[in-house]
Structure 1
C-alpha cells in the first residue's frame, strides 16, 4: 500500500500473546482509530465506509484474530477478495516463539483462545497452523520474542509514523507560578529572573506577545544568553525524546503571573520548534487570569 494515500487502512493480526494489544496502543498514540476483534466478514464494508467518510476517518486499525472463532475461517477469503478488487490495506502480523507465548500465558494465568480446556502448547500449535496462510500475506512481521516494550514502540513508530510530526507532538505552555504549576509538564523553565515589564507602566497591561514588550525583554544581555542556552538544550533534547519513542511532550514556561516573560519565552520556543518542522502547539494558560487583563492587547 502506498503510504502517501489518503487513508491508512491497517489490519493487525497474529499469534495470541505476541503483543497485538500493546502494538495497537502505540498506534492509537500516533492517531490511529483502533477497532478490536472485528469479524473478518465485515472488513470490506468497513473499509468502504471509511473511504466515504470525507477524510474524517483516514487512519484505521482493525484487529482480527482467532478470538472471532468460527468467523475467523473467512479471513483468508476476505483478504483474497480484497486483493482481487484492488482494495488497499497493510497487514501487520505479530509473532513470537512458542516458548515466549507459553511463558507469557503462564505469567498472566490466562486461557489460550485455541485451548480453553487443554494445555497451552496445544493451543499455540493449533493457532500457528491456522494462521500460517495469513502470515504469508503479511506486509510487516514483528517478532516480539525478545523485544522490550520500548523496542516494540520504536518499531511501530518507524513503520507507521510516516511524518516527523506524528512521532512527537509538543505543547508549549506559558503559566504563572501564582496560579500553580501545570501537572502534566515534562519540562519546566522558571524565567522569573528575566527583566519584568510589569514594572514599566506602559507595558503593564500588555502581554509578552506584543512586540513592544517582547523587545523590552529581549534587549537585555541576560535574556540573549538564556535564549542561547535554551535553544541548545531544546535542540539536544528533541531528537532524544523522538529516539526514546515519546509521542507527547509538554514544555512549560513560568513567570510570576504568566503574562509577560513566560509568554515571550514560550513563543520563542514555539517559533523555533515550528521552524524546525515539529508538530507544536502554543498555549498561554494563565493570560486571562490576570487582574490587569482588561487592557491587554494580544498580538500573537
Structure 2
C-alpha cells in the first residue's frame, strides 16, 4: 500500500505516533529601507532558507514544492518587495491561492517612519524604487498606498525606526529562534519625555509622579540601573502599587495579542530625562512581565546617556 505523504507515521516500534514534518512559510515584506535584507540575513543565521526578491506569482509554485518536500525545507522565508510594481499588485491573489491550497504561512511586515526612511536612502545615496522623477518622499507615499492592505493583514508588524542593523537582527532573532517563533516578544523601553514620545510604542506609561532622584545630590550622577536609584524609586509610596497594577492591566492585553497572532510589542516608560525613574521602572516591569506565560522581554533605554 502506498502511504500518503501527509499520513501519520509511527516510530520503529510501530506504536508511537510521529508528527509529520510541517514546513513553515514566512513572507517578509514591508517598506523599502525598513530592513528587509537585515531581517533576511538574521533568518538565515538561524537556519531559515531565504529567497529574496521572489515575484509573488511564483509563491504558489514554491509552496507546492515545499508541501511535497517539507523535510527538505522546513523553514522557508520569502522576501517580497515592490520593485516590480505590476507583479506586486497580484500578491494578495497569490496569498489567497496559498490558503486555498492549504499551505500555512505568516507575514512579517517591516515598517519605519517617513523621516527614518528618507534618512536611510540619503545616507545610502540611493533613489527610492518608486520615486521616478520625484522626491524620495513621493516614492515612500506611493509605496505606503501599495502596501496598506498587506500591512493591515500582517500577523507581525515590526517598526524599525529606532533600531540599528544589530538591534533589528536581535529583534528578528527573538521572534524566530531555533525552536520556532517566540509567541510574544515584548520590548520594555525607557525614555525621556523631553526628547519626544517613542513612535513605535504600543503603550506608554508616565512615571513622573514618582519623586525625581535628580534632586538628590548623591543620586544625580547615577542612573536607574544603579541599586541606590532603583531602591529610591521603587520604594516610594505608589511606585510598587503602580507596577503591580500595570502588570495586571497588561495581562489581558498581552493575551489578546497572542490570540491575534501579534508577536512583537513595545511598552514605553517615560520620565523627564529618561535617566532615573523610567529606567528603574522599566527594568522592574520587564522582570515582572517576563514571568508571564509565553512572553519574553528585552529592555531598551532609549535616552540613557544623553546630557
TM-score normalised by the chain length of structure 1: 0.51
Distance 1:148 1:121 in 2: 21
Taking the TM superposition and a 5 Å limit, the aligned residue runs for 1:219-258 are none
Asked whether the equivalents of residues 39 and 169 of structure 2 are also in contact (C-alpha less than 8 Å), the reply is: yes
Contact 2:54–2:80 (8 Å) recurs in 1: yes
- The answer on whether the counterparts of 2:46 and 2:178 sit within 8 Å (CA) in structure 1 is no
Following TM superposition, the consecutive aligned residue runs of length 4 or more in structure 1 with deviations greater than 4 angstroms are: none
**Is residue 40–residue 74 contact of structure 1 (8 Å, CA) maintained in 2?**
yes
- C-alpha separation in 2, matches of 1:137 and 1:162: 26
Tell me the matched-pair count: 162
CA contact (8 A) 1:37 1:64 kept: yes
Matched, 1:116 2:120: no
After superposition, where does 1:1-300 map in structure 2 within 5 Å? 6-53=22-69, 55-163=71-179
Task: Tell me the SS of whatever aligns to 2:103.
Answer: coil
| Structure-2-length-normalised TM-score | 0.50
- CA shift, 1:148, in A, is 2.4
Higher relative helix content: 1
Displacement after TM superposition at 1:13 (Å): 0.3
Deviations 1:127-159 (A, max 9, x none): 001100011121111100011223212211111
Distance 2:95 2:77 in 1: 15
1:162: Cα distance to partner?
A: 4.3
Q: 2: distance between equivalents of 1:135 and 1:87?
A: 20
Structure 2 unmatched ranges of 5 or more = 1-19, 181-307
Distance in structure 2 (CA, Å) of the matches to 1:54 and 1:133: 29
Structure 1 contact 33–59 (Cα < 8 Å) conserved: yes
Alpha-carbon shift at residue 83 of structure 1 (Å): 2.9
SS in 2 for 1:71: helix
* 8 A Cα contact 1:51 1:58, kept in partner: no
CA distance in structure 2 between the partners assigned to 1:58 and 1:83 by the alignment: 18
The change in CA–CA distance for 1:122 and 1:53 in structure 2 (over 3 A counts) is same
Per-residue deviation, 1:70: 1.1
Instruction: Give the whole-Å Cα distance in 2 for the aligned partners of 1:149 and 1:50.
Output: 30
Matched residue, 1:231: none
Structure 2 counterpart of 1:211: none
Q: Is the 8 A contact 2:63 2:98 kept in 1?
A: no
What secondary structure does 1:67 align onto? coil
Query: What is the rounded CA distance, in whole Å, between the counterparts of 2:161 and 2:67 in structure 1?
Result: 35
CA RMSD of aligned residues (A): 2.0
Deviation at 1:44, TM superposition (A): 1.3
Larger radius of gyration: 1
Report SS of the residue matched to 1:117. Answer: coil
Asked if structure 2 preserves the Cα contact closer than 8 Å seen for 1:41 and 1:74, the reply is: yes
| Structure 2 contact 26–105 (Cα < 8 Å) conserved | yes
